[in-house]
Amino acid sequence: MNTNLPAAATITSVRRLTADTSLFTLACNDRDAALELSSFQPGQFLELSLPGFGEIPISYCGLPSACGAIELCIRHVGHVTSPLRRAGPGDAVGLRGPFGHGFPLDGYENQDLLLIAGGLGMAPLRSLLLALLDQRSRWGNLTLLYGARETGALLFLDELLDLTKRSDIRIQLAVDRREQCLEGPPNCRVALLPALLDGLAIQPEHTCAALCGPPVVYAYLVAGLKQLGLSGNRIHLSLERRMKCGIGRCGHCAVGSFLCCSDGPVFSLTQLQGIEGALA
Amino acid sequence: MAVDFIAERDLQRCLNLLRRQGEVHAPLRDTDGMVRFGPLPTGVLPDLTAVRTLLPPKKYLLHPRETILFYQAGSGYQLPSGDVPRLILFGLHPCDLAGINYLDQVFLGNEPDPLYAARRAALTLIGTSCAPDQFCSCHLRPSPLTASCDLFLQQIGGGFVVSCGSSRGVELLETVTELIQERELTPPADTRSFFGQQLPPPPRSELDPALPDWQNLAEQCLGCGACSICCPTCCCFDVLESGGLDGSSAERWRRWDNCLFKSHAQVAGGASFQKDRTQRFRYRYRHKYRGFGQLKRLPSCVGCGRCRAVCPAGLDLRPLAERLEGCAP
Amino acid sequence: MKKLRLAITGLTACSGCQLTLLNCEAELPQLLEKFEFHYFPLACSPAVLKGRYDAALVEGCLSMPHERQLLLALRSQSQLLIAVGSCAVWGGVAALKNGTDRELLRRQVYGQSRTAVGTFSPQPLQSLVTVDAVINGCPPEKKELIGLMSGLLLGSLPVPNDQPVCSDCRMKENLCLLTERAQLCLGPLTLGGCEARCPSQGVPCEGCRGPVPEANLGEALELFLQKEYGRAIVIERLRRFYPEWKS
Amino acid sequence: MSRSGRIDILTRVEGHGKIELIRTGSRVTDARLHLHESPRLFEALLLGKRFDEVAEIACRICSICSTVHKVAALQAIEQALGVRVSPQTGLLRQLAVQGGQIESHALHIYCLALPDYLGVGGFPGLANVAPQKLKQGLKIKALGNLIQETIGGRAIHPFNLLVGGLGRTPGPEHLQRLADGLQEVREELPDLIEFTASLPETLPPLFPPEACAVSGGPALFGDHLATSTGETVPADAAASWLNEKVEAHSHAKFSRFDGQTVYLVGPLARLHLSIPAEYAQELAGAPVSSSLLARAIELQQAVEHSLMLITHLLAAGLQQEKPAAVVPTSGQGTALIEAPRGVLLHSYTFDQRGICTGADIITPTAINQAAIEGSLKALVAALDSTDYQQVKTACERLVRCFDPCISCAVH
Ligand SMILES: Cc1cc2nc3c(=O)[nH]c(=O)nc-3n(C[C@H](O)[C@H](O)[C@H](O)COP(=O)(O)OP(=O)(O)OC[C@H]3O[C@@H](n4cnc5c(N)ncnc54)[C@H](O)[C@@H]3O)c2cc1C
Ligand code: SF4
Ligand code: SF4
Ligand code: SF4
């Protein structure tokens, strides 16, 4: 694949998830490109181009699919993402990827897994969750902790509620505040995300944690996980930085001497130890 | 030892012979007194005594601002097309050659950048030796980057000792055989010897944010961007896209960026991972003296002295590097 | 596609930003296909502000009460309001003596007459209304105006630039007037995007595009003083387009 | 019993103005021009500025005529400080001013005035009814801009024109490019003049007052005012002769002259004072509305003159010169130049350190105010109408004939 040239793709469907976030399904116009773009690891990302506006890094949000459909969950916040609010089926976009390192699935073999998502961090973790459920027998206990500002901001709530019917996964939700009119989902507490770690029963030497959330919560989550006895190489975090090229050239996404795009975006806590500003 | 020698008085003829292989660009002193790489007019000799040009040769490989993609509704994104003319860069100093070596590693590693690769393939590099001045640091600190080129002309009294660095160089040399004299002499070492050296790995410890130096640098820096723009190995770029007035076309372009600017690590909503300039100076330092990303542990400073020569505030990272990197700066 | 409906006007200013648009001779025919210049008193009759506008492009600063009324009307009737030019964005030349009592200045020109009594110290548009985007420059660059217009067609606004004039200047490999000629060049403090028009012709940057983010005024002042420019001269020069510089 | 009619903003003129129509009963009996542009108080802003800042600031009075403001300011400053510029600088400045003349006249003829004759609202309408004319106009306008940009560095607010000289002197290739463009446009101008002369008269014949223009130098330049009444006023006496007074209903000062005579400045006045033989017939005793024709003729003159200047400059060989050195000193200087709309005066006083202690700027539209108002009153009387809309349209057209530049007038 040419490093600068996005492959042509088309939006096939759009689902509004919350007031400011939508789930897009895309299809590549070209078979080879589709194959390349849809063989990814959860936690990896691609570069999405919106013609006339620019290109942005977005995490894969679904499963690698045989038919080449790609799911992306996008929050409408700025120059490129806001106009995507107006985009609909049939609109042309461009894709480059997959880029970066995802979550180390092979290292998770036989481990208990603790997935912790904050806000939009659910996007890459959904991909991981779906991958884990897809090969459920390879892993031990599965736990998902997911927090958002308010009930209305919880992404993929319908899917998560469906999953709570299964016995092989534990799901705990948290919201900072609950809207008056809404009755919260059954397994949802009014609490800050790190509070869900309090007293969580895990076996630290058999558990790996995968985190994705806004930078501000990482420090608290990490402290909580350490409290539970997890060592740094069992904690994986997905970082977000400004990115332009996605392939380690433009120089914007440095984290210490790592580049977030090519060395990350998923790092182990051990890797990030002592790096100024890594966990903000 | 036997060496190939071209007499100084034959330089003009040599350049004329080279011209048959492509346009020759070389350092030229302009009427304003500044030295720049530019097309060498016939009959004019390059300035081989100048220590440095304003911009390094990176301008030939990455243009300050260039279109990298065109978009047209219906046909999608397309790479810019067009011929890349063959160019001979004449009079590159070892530091600039090392700078190109660094850029090669960034832009040709893994998946080559198409624009860079095409321009690089069309370049012939002819180096010359030089005498460092007070801004230079090539001779104070060895670099693992190589100062390789196709031909090298070492300046010694009355002419140049010529050596080849590639098969392209051998070919070139053949085109000027009529000017080559065989001489028996041992040329003294030049600054090339500081390049291509194995270095002890830089300290693994992170840079200490508590050092007062960062604050001092940040306070004095005007944020003009000159240091990065003039640096042969600074290659951060920004990418922007804009639509056309027809409403259906677009253009994506990149331009040189600078790690000392506020927006460098800013993300949606204005949050930044390099909020203040002290932090950004550590970033710059890390890139210059320790390397990052795929080129971790490969320092990128080639010692050309441009950042010091152009900084209006006269900032100099050398003393800090001397302390932090443990060896002579 | 339906043409975008525009309101283009000037407040306290020289019409230079509007003229810059009219100076896009090559692009005007194309612009006419895509935009309806509904309210544009400088070039189109009649000029009646009526209905909704997709965008209002406003030149100039506020210095008289009736301009406040007009600006509020433009704001409430327009989807987007864009401040065009340094007067609209920073106050500009008209504001260069904002430190001085306006009544005193008025009397220096009109004497004791009651002419233009309502005039107040020029203010940028942001002082009264929300501005969705800005185009800098005195006058702005054509290229940036055309970029704004093509952005409007797509539904996007210009991405703010934060590189100083020096960056443009160095990229053009110019001789540096500050370091090589010890001239009072405001390049390091000034927002770029003009491709260093002035220094490229050997004329020091006069700062017409306003301050760059994080402009290091203290250090620049120090440097200018070292180059033997008196403090007063430097401060006067700095304030030519942006009165808020603190000495 | 009188009441005033609705006041509308003037369109297709530079700046902000209104016409007030006074009605007695149902009949419109009087008209007044209000230049209510917000004053920037330039003459006060300039006080305390050093000599090398004055022209940079003063040119921001107006964009359409920024080049001529700049040149006038520079000449006044140089006179005050005793700076002499090279002949080459003089020629290049003249060329830049001619470029401004071309740009401004093309803008007025094609974009601002022609719509009146072709029954459309502005240049977007022209694109439908007379696309070729619009194209031609834009081409000429672009050329005027290119001339200003080549010499001044920028079409609006030219930074390359400095006290004592130029930042960078354009190369011969740049001037040659201008010459090529001028040659091309030159071919088209006879047709334009014929076309403007053939346009139907839409206003009753109103005759301009006495004429006044700068004289005594190369085209558009000079050192004194000359009038159709035979007066000669040297530059340093011009300001007091023009006799500016503040009036309550205008933010622009009025030139009151001797209190009796009213003078017109601008294209018609210039041509009146030196009628080119070939147009003697069309222009002799021409009414105010023939200003469009006058501008077309001047456009041709500007093109011819520019070509001549370029020929001179190229023949002499362009030199990269440094601006003349300036030693700050106290002094006073006044410059007169013809801006596209007429007589422009810049006058400055400096103290020992070269700091501006006095500034006086008199602009064509301010001078013309009395003539415009006089014509408006005459028009209202001539129409003697109760049809408000008709009077209003006619008044607007009449004002446009003067091509007022209100930012200049109120500066
Ligand atoms: C590895 C990675 C994965 C991501 N995954 C997702 C995802 O799945 N869903 C989602 O909604 N968002 C995701 N983001 C964030 C997303 O890239 C930004 O929201 C987006 O770039 C904002 O662009 P904008 O033009 O709309 O915003 P603006 O604020 O207008 O952007 C301004 C500039 O900053 C850059 N920029 C701004 N924010 C970011 C950011 N957070 N990261 C990198 N560059 C930024 C943009 O490239 C642009 O040039 C991810 C970011 C990274 C780095
Ligand atoms: S050249 Fe000097 S002042 Fe300019 S950005 Fe670099 S360090 Fe700062
Ligand atoms: S000339 Fe001015 S703008 Fe250019 S680099 Fe020097 S200080 Fe900056
Ligand atoms: S160089 Fe400075 S003064 Fe000149 S156009 Fe640019 S910002 Fe304006």
How many Å apart are CA C221 and CA C235, to the nearest integer? 8
Q: In degrees, to the nearest 5, what angle opens at C-alpha D86 toward C-alphas D334 and B30?
A: 130
pLDDT higher than threshold 60 for residue B238:
yes
Helix (H) or strand (E) holding D293: helix D291-316
Q: Using an 8 Å Cβ cutoff, are C151 and C202 in contact? A: no
- Residue B264 confidence class, pLDDT cut points 50, 70, 90: confident
Nearest CA to ligand 2 atom 2: B311
The residue among B271 and A224 whose pLDDT is bigger is: A224
Q: Is the dihedral of CA A207, A208, A212, A217 positive or negative?
A: positive
With contacts defined as CB-CB under 8 Å, which chain C residues touch D45? 93-94, 96-97, 105
CATH architecture of A105-234: 3-Layer(aba) Sandwich (3.40)
- Residue A280 confidence class, pLDDT cut points 50, 70, 90: low
With contacts defined as CB-CB under 8 Å, which chain A residues touch C155? 83, 86
Q: Which token pair is C41?
A: 């008193």
Residue with token string 């009025």: D254
pLDDT higher than threshold 50 for residue B74:
yes
C80, β-bridge pairs: C55
- Residue D238 confidence class, pLDDT cut points 50, 70, 90: very high
- All structural domains of chain C, each given as residue ranges with its CATH number in brackets, are 4-154 (3.40.50.700), 165-238 (no CATH)
Q: What is the pLDDT of residue D282?
A: 78
Nearest CA to ligand 2 atom 8: B221
Percent of chain A with pLDDT over 90: 58
Q: Give the residue from A249, A271, A275 with the most B CB atoms within 10 Å of its CB, the best one to mutate.
A: A249
The 10s digit of each residue's pLDDT in D242-275 is: 999 998 888 999 999 888 899 999 999 999 998 8
Task: Looking at the CA of residue A54, tell me the nearest atom of ligand 1.
Answer: 25
Q: Does A83 touch chain C (CB under 8 A)?
A: yes
Chains C and B touch (3+ CB pairs under 8 A): yes
CB neighbours of residue D390 within 10 Å:
12
Mutate to test the pocket of ligand 3, among C178, C206, C227 (most ligand atoms within 8 A of CB): C178
Mean pLDDT of chain A: 90
What is the pLDDT averaged over residues A41-65?
Answer: 94
Domain count, chain B: 1
- Which ipTM did the prediction report? 0.92
Q: What is the pLDDT of residue D358?
A: 97
The 10s digit of each residue's pLDDT in D100-142 is: 999 999 999 999 999 999 999 999 999 999 999 999 999 999 9
β D2-4/D18-24 pair status: antiparallel
The 10s digit of each residue's pLDDT in C131-141 is: 999 999 999 99
pLDDT higher than threshold 70 for residue A167:
yes
The residue among B208 and D83 whose pLDDT is bigger is: D83
Q: What is the pLDDT of residue A182?
A: 61
Q: What is the pLDDT of residue C236?
A: 84
Task: Looking at the CA of residue A77, tell me the nearest atom of ligand 1.
Answer: 26
The answer to whether residue B287 sits within a structural domain is yes
Classify domain A7-99 at the CATH class level.
Answer: mainly beta
| Residue range of the domain that includes B128 | 2-324
The 10s digit of each residue's pLDDT in D140-172 is: 999 999 999 999 999 999 999 999 999 999 999
Cα radius of gyration rounded to whole Å, chain B: 21
Helix (H) or strand (E) holding C32: helix C28-34
The 10s digit of each residue's pLDDT in D275-330 is: 888 888 877 778 898 999 999 999 999 999 999 999 999 999 999 999 999 999 99
Q: What is the pLDDT of residue A277?
A: 81
Q: What residue ranges line ligand 1, CB within 6 angstroms? A: A 45, 56-59, 73-75, 77-81, 120, 123, 240-243, 265; B 267-268
How many Å apart are CA C50 and CA C37, to the nearest integer? 12
Q: How far is CA D77 from the centre of its chain?
A: 21
Mutate to test the pocket of ligand 1, among A20, A76, A122, A240 (most ligand atoms within 8 A of CB): A240
Name the closest residue on chain C to residue D321, using Cα atoms.
Answer: C202
Nearest CA to ligand 1 atom 4: A58
β A142-150/A21-28 pair status: unpaired
What is the pLDDT averaged over residues A65-90?
Answer: 91
How many Å apart are CA B93 and CA B88, to the nearest integer? 14
- Nearest by CB to residue B243, choosing from C154, C176, C223, is C154
Q: Is the dihedral of CA A212, A213, A214, A220 positive or negative?
A: negative
Q: In chain B, which ranges are continuous DSSP H helix? A: 11-19, 58-61, 94-108, 114-121, 167-175, 212-220, 226-229, 277-289, 306-310, 318-324
How many Å apart are CA B290 and CA B299, to the nearest integer? 4
Mean pLDDT of chain B: 90
Q: What is the DSSP letter of B272?
A: B
**3-state secondary structure (DSSP) of residue B267:** coil
Q: Does B133 touch chain C (CB under 8 A)?
A: no
- Residue B329 confidence class, pLDDT cut points 50, 70, 90: very low
Q: What is the pLDDT of residue D408?
A: 94
* Range of weakest confidence among A63-72, B299-308, C183-192: A63-72
Looking at mean pLDDT, say which of B3-17, B294-308, D94-108 comes out highest: D94-108
Chains D and A touch (3+ CB pairs under 8 A): no
Candidates D6, D41, D10; CA nearest to D246 is D41
- DSSP assignment of B182-215 equals EEE--PPP-GGGGBS---PPPPSSPP-TT-HHHH
Digits of tens for pLDDT over chain C (247 positions)? 789 999 999 999 999 999 999 999 999 999 999 999 999 999 998 999 999 999 999 999 999 999 999 999 999 999 999 999 999 999 999 999 998 999 999 999 999 888 888 999 999 999 999 999 999 999 999 999 999 999 999 999 999 899 999 999 999 999 999 999 999 999 999 999 999 999 999 999 999 999 998 899 989 999 999 887 888 888 888 889 987 776 4
Q: Does the distance separating the beta carbons of C201 and D159 come in below 8 Å? A: yes
Q: Does the distance separating the beta carbons of C159 and A53 come in below 8 Å? A: no
Q: Using an 8 Å Cβ cutoff, are D210 and D202 in contact? A: no
Q: What is the pLDDT of residue B157?
A: 85
Domain coordinates in residue numbering, chain A? 7-99, 105-234
Q: Which residues of A160-175 are buried (b: 16+ CB within 10 A; e: fewer)?
A: bbebbeeeebbbbbbb
What is the pLDDT averaged over residues A57-63?
Answer: 95
With contacts defined as CB-CB under 8 Å, which chain B residues touch A26? none
**Ligand that comes closest to the CA of residue B32:** 3
Burial class (CB in 10 A: 0-12, 13-18, 19+), D187: exposed
Mean pLDDT of chain D: 93
With contacts defined as CB-CB under 8 Å, which chain A residues touch B206? 256, 274-276
Q: Using an 8 Å Cβ cutoff, are D148 and D68 in contact? A: no
pLDDT higher than threshold 90 for residue B296:
no
Q: Which token pair is B321?
A: 């590097």
Q: What is the pLDDT of residue C27?
A: 96
Task: Identify the CATH assignment for D37-409 out of 3.30.200.20, 3.20.20.70, 1.10.645.10, 1.10.1660.10.
Answer: 1.10.645.10
- Residue A238 confidence class, pLDDT cut points 50, 70, 90: very high
